[in-house]
Amino acid sequence: MIKSLDLAYLKHFYHFASRYKKTAVIGLLMMPISVAANLLFPWLVIQVIDKHLTPGKYTGLMTLIAVMLVVLIVNYIADAVYTYCLRKTGQKAVFDIRMALFARILKLPRTYFDKTPTGVTLSRLTSDLEAIGESFVLGVLSLLKDSINTLAVLIFMFFINWQLALLVLLVFPPVLMLTQYVRNRLREMFAITRSSLAKGTGFLQECLLGVKTVQLYGAEEEVEAKYHGYTEDFLRAQLKTNKYDATLFSVISGITTITIGLIIWYGSGKVLAGAVSLGVLIAFINTLEKVFVPLRDFTSQIAAIQRSFAAFEHIEELFVQELEEEGKTLLPAESLKDKLANFDSLEFKNVRFRYNNTGPYILHDVSFTLNKGEQLALVGTTGSGKSTIIRIMNKAYMDYEGSILLNGIELSSIPKASMLHLFSLMQQDVFLFEENIHFNISLGAAQISDEAVVDAAQYVYAHDFILGLPGQYQFELKKSGSNMSAGQAQLISFARAVAQGGQVMMLDEATSSVDSITENLIQKAIARLFAEKTVIAIAHRLSTIRHSDQILVLNQGKIVEQGRHEDLLAMNGVYSSLLTDDDNIEDDEGALLPEPA
C-alpha cells in the first residue's frame, strides 16, 4: 500500500509537475491510442489465422497485413510521444525542484549548516534529485502505462476466451503477495543505502577539503578506515537489495513460464476438441507476453519508485526546514526604510547568547554602545566570544536574549535585508571564489561599478599588486584562491568589504601571519578605516586598536574591562596583562596581541 507520507510526496511532486500540464496531457492522450493499438493487433492476428489462412480465402489478406503494419506503426509512435512528453514533464519538474531546493538552502539559518555536514546537503541536490529524475519519473511512467495496458489486455482475454483468461488470473494473487513483501524489504534497504551514501559523501567532501592536512599528518590510513566503514554499510544494503530484486525477478519469470506451458497444454486440447479456434490460441499466447512481461517488470518499477521515495523523504526534510527568518515577528521593510537609511547607533543591553538551546551560554550580559563615527575594538583570548558578537550583529544567529538596538529599533524585529546595506564585514576566514579578482571584490553585485571595484582596491592598498598580475582585475583565481598568497587573499577580502559600501565596517582580523610588506599594507588600510569610518574590529594587533574610542576586553563571554587604551593600561588588569605578555609593546606599534590557549 502507498503510505500517506508517500501521497504527500506525490502531491508535492505534482505541485511542481502541474506547471507543465499541457505537455503531460499530450503525453497522456497517447495512452488510449497505444492501448487500442495493443488490442487491435491480436484481434487482427485472429482474423488472419481463422479467416484467411485457409486455402482459397486469400482475398483481403494483404489489406489485413497492411492494416496490421499501420497499427504497429501507430503503436510505436503513440508510445514514443507518450514517453517523450511525460519524461519532459518529469525532467522539467525535477529542474524546478532543484532550483527551489537550492534557493531554500541559501536561505537556511546558520544553525542548519552548523549541524549538517556539507556533503549531506550536497547529496540531496545531486544523488537524491537524480533518483527522483531517473527512478521516480521513469518508474511511474512505465508503471502507469503497463498497468493500463495489462488491464486492457486482461479484459480482451476474457472477451475472446474466459476459461483461458481465468487460468491466467490464477497466477496473480501469489505474484502480488510476493511483490508486496519484497516491496517493503526493498524500501528499508533503499533508506539505508541513501543515508549511508549521504554520510559517506559528507565524509568524502570533508576529507577532500582537508586532504592537505590529512597528508601532512600522515592520517591516510585512519581516514581510509573510516570511509571504508561508510562505504561498507552502503555496499551491504546494496547487496541485500540485489538479493531481493534477483529472487523476485527469477521467481516471477518461473511462474510466467509455467503459466504459458499450462495455457498451451490446456488450450491445444480445446483446439483439438474444436472448442477454441487456432487463431484464438495463438493470439492468446502472443498476448500473454503483454501481461507477464509488465507483471515481471512491475517489481523493478516498484523498486525504482521505492528508491525514489527514500530520496523524496530526504528532500522533503530540506523543504520543511525552517528558513532563516521564518516564524520571526518582523517589522514591515517599508516602515524601516527612513529609520535605517543611515547608521546612528548600535546598543547591546545585557545580551546573552548560546548557539543552541541546550548548549552553554557563550555571551553573558554584554552591554556597550557604538555611535556613528566611533571605533570599537574587541579583544580577548581565543574563544572569548568576539566573533560571536559580530555574528549576532549581522543576524547570522538570531536568538539572543536581552536587547540589541540598531538606530533604536530592536534587531530581532528588523528583516535582514533592511539592514544589510549598513554593514560591511571583513571575515576572518577569507573565502575566495574560482572567479576573477573583479568578481571576488564585487561578488557580482550589479550596483558595484568597475570604478567602485578599483576604488575599493586602492583604498585597501591592493590595487598595486593587482596591477602586477597577468590580466589584472580579470586575473582568474584558482579553487579557494590557491594561486594567491595569504596576504593577497586578505587584501582582496578587505577590498570586498570596502566595495560593499556599508557605513559600519566590521573587521574580524585574520590571525594568519603574512609577509611583512603585505602586513604593512593591511595595517595601513586598517588605520585608514579607523580614521574615516565607524568601525567595530576584532583586532589582534596593538597598532590597530590603540586609537579606538572604546576597547571591550572579553573573557569567557563577559566584558571584564571597557575603556580607551590608556585607561585600560592604567587599570593594570586583564588588558594590560594581555599586552605585557608581549615584549616591547610600548615601542612596537605592530605588536601582536597574545592568543593564550
Question: What is the binding site for ligand ATP (CB under 6 A)?
Answer: 114, 355, 362, 380, 382-388
Return the number of the residue (145 or 386) whose C-beta is nearest ligand ATP. 386
Query: Could you tell me the smallest distance in angstroms from the CB atom of residue 119 to ligand ATP?
Result: 18
In Å, what is the CA distance from 271 to each residue of 166, 193, 264?
17, 52, 10
Nearer to ligand ATP, 35 or 568 (CB): 568
Name the residue nearer to ligand ATP (CB basis): 27 or 109.
Answer: 109
DSSP conformation class of 541: B
Give CA 566 to chain center in angstroms.
Answer: 51
Residues 6+ apart with CB under 8 A from 343: 372, 407, 422, 503, 504, 534
Q: Give the containing element (helix H, strand E) for 65.
A: helix 61-106
CB of 557 to ligand ATP, least distance (A): 7
- For ligand ATP, the closer CB: 383 or 563: 383
Q: Smallest gap, in angstroms, from Cβ of residue 382 to ligand ATP?
A: 3
What's the Cα-to-Cα distance from 564 to each of 144, 224, 378, 505, 545, rounded to whole Å?
76, 53, 12, 19, 9
Strand order in the sheet with 558-563: 423-426, 504-508, 534-538, 375-380, 550-555, 558-563
CB of 493 to ligand ATP, least distance (A): 15
CA angle 338, 342, 343 (to 5 degrees): 125
CB of 332 to ligand ATP, least distance (A): 30
C-alpha cell of residue 406: 540598531
Distance CA 55, CA 122 (A): 70
**DSSP string over 257-308:** HHHHHHHHHHHHHHHHTTSS-HHHHHHHHHHHHHHHHHHHHHHHHHHHHHHH
Q: For residues 85 and 392, which CB has a smaller minimum distance to ligand ATP in the complex?
A: 392
| Strand arrangement, sheet containing 363-371 | 363-371, 345-353, 401-406, 409-410
CB of 339 vs ligand ATP, minimal distance in Å = 29
Minimum distance from CB of 109 to ligand ATP (Å)? 11
Contact 199, 230 (CB under 8 A): yes
Beta strands 550-555; 534-538: pairing state: unpaired
Q: Locate cell 547568547: which residue?
A: 353
CB of 421 to ligand ATP, least distance (A): 25
Residue 573 C-alpha cell reads as 588588569
- Report the alpha-carbon distance of residue 385 to residue 393 in Å, rounded: 13
Helix, coil or strand: residue 515? coil
CB of 452 to ligand ATP, least distance (A): 30
Task: Choose between 206 and 344: whose C-beta lies nearer to ligand ATP.
Answer: 206
Give the residue with the Cβ less far from ligand ATP, 84 or 355. Answer: 355
Residues 527, 530, 532: CA angle, nearest 5 degrees: 110
Nearest distance, CB of residue 549 and ligand ATP, angstroms = 21
The residue (of 472 and 555) whose beta carbon lies closer to ligand ATP is: 555
Q: How far is the CB of 326 from ligand ATP (least distance, A)?
A: 20
- To ligand ATP, the closest distance from the beta carbon of 221 in angstroms equals 29
Helix (H) or strand (E) holding 410: strand 409-410
Residue with cell 510476493: 178
User: Between 114 and 515, whose beta carbon lies closer to ligand ATP?
Assistant: 114
Choice between 75 and 428, CB closer to ligand ATP:
428
Nearer to ligand ATP (CB atom), residue 302 or residue 522: 522
Dist. CA 433–CA 306, nearest whole Å:
39
Supply the minimum distance, in Å, between the C-beta of residue 355 and ligand ATP: 3
**Cβ-based nearer residue to ligand ATP, 318 or 392:** 392
Q: How far apart are CA 544 and CA 493, in angstroms?
A: 18
Nearer to ligand ATP, 128 or 508 (CB): 508
Neighbours of 83 (CB within 10 A): 16
